[in-house]
Amino acid sequence: MNNILELRSDSFRTLMAYFRCAIMEIETKFNVLNEEFSLQHDRNPIADIKSRLKSVESIEDKLTRKNLPVTCEAIEKNLNDVAGIRVICTFIDDVYMLADALLSQDDITLIQKKDYIENPKPNGYRSLHLIVEVPIFLAEEKRFMRVEIQLRTIAMDFWASLEHQLNYKKNITNAEMIQNELKHCAEVNAELDRRMSEIKRNIAGMQ
């Protein structure tokens, strides 16, 4: 009970502010890479960047499900997705190019990498997930914060947003049929992503 109260405390508000700062730092890193790449290739690899901070309710739920105390310490130690950034790329190649460039930076530490593009989830979900640690520069100290980064193409993102809507519905009359149909769309999507990338490479190859 007094655990839950901790999520209304000053130290919780401070921690959330730090996560917001971590999001800003990672966003800037991607904006810099986008700027550099645009210059070299005359097109933007990044179509959009979205970020979100996990809500107090979701944090509470997740800690409780994991049988962890609802404290700031438990959050920092155990939750990797309080700060989340989604980078929507134009092509599959851009996803890997951006991930590699970010991970090669000397102030970034990779904590975890899951490649759901190589190995899609059973429902058809594709994306590249990274968990990294990034320094934020506060007035008096440099602090390392964790951020979850999801990199995906426009097509993957569109698919994921539709799949997400399905998950929020309760009455599941013909859910299985819809799931099958969604999975089929995921496969057509993946095929399309590959063909569009191929076309892009052919176009880039021209003088």
Among 20, 62, 86, 114, which residue sits at the site for a copy of itself (rule: CB under 8 A)?
Answer: 20
> According to the binding rule CB under 8 A, does residue 111 interact with a copy of itself?
no
Minimum gap (Å) between residue 171 Cβ and a copy of itself: 4
Query: Which DSSP string corresponds to the chain?
Result: -HHHHHTTSHHHHHHHHHHHHHHHHHHHHHHHHHHHHHHHHSS-SEEEEEEEEPPHHHHHHHHHHTT--SSHHHHHHH-S-SEEEEEEESSHHHHHHHHHHHHTSTT-EEEEEEETTTS--TT----EEEEEEEEEE-SS-EEEEEEEEEEEEHHHHHHHHHHHHHHT----TTHHHHHHHHHHHHHHHHHHHHHHHHHHHHHHH--
Rounded distance, CA 182 to CA 94, Å?
A: 25
Residues of span 24-43 touching a copy of itself by CB under 8 A: 24-25, 27-29, 31-33, 35-39, 43
Cα–Cα nearest to 152, from 198, 184, 117: 117
Among 52, 107, 110, 121, which residue sits at the site for a copy of itself (rule: CB under 8 A)?
Answer: 107
CB under 8 A: which stretch of 58-66, 74-82, 121-129, 152-160 binds a copy of itself?
152-160
| 76 catalytic per annotation | no
Pick the catalytic residue from 6, 118, 148, 187: 148
Letters for 174-203 (x = contact with a copy of itself by CB under 8 A, - = none) are x--xx--xx-xx--xx-xx--xx-xxx-xx
Among 2, 67, 119, 173, which residue sits at the site for a copy of itself (rule: CB under 8 A)?
Answer: 173
Residue corresponding to tokens 């739920």:
61
CB under 8 A: which stretch of 56-64, 69-77, 104-112, 122-130 binds a copy of itself?
104-112
> According to the binding rule CB under 8 A, does residue 1 interact with a copy of itself?
no
Which residues does residue 112 pair with via DSSP β-bridges, in sequence order? 131
Interface contacts to a copy of itself, rule CB under 8 A: 13-14, 17, 20-21, 24-25, 27-29, 31-33, 35-39, 43, 48, 90, 97, 101, 104-107, 136-140, 142, 154-155, 158-159, 161-162, 165-166, 169-174, 177-178, 181-182, 184-185, 188-189, 191-192, 195-196, 198-200, 202-203, 206-207
Active site residues: 148
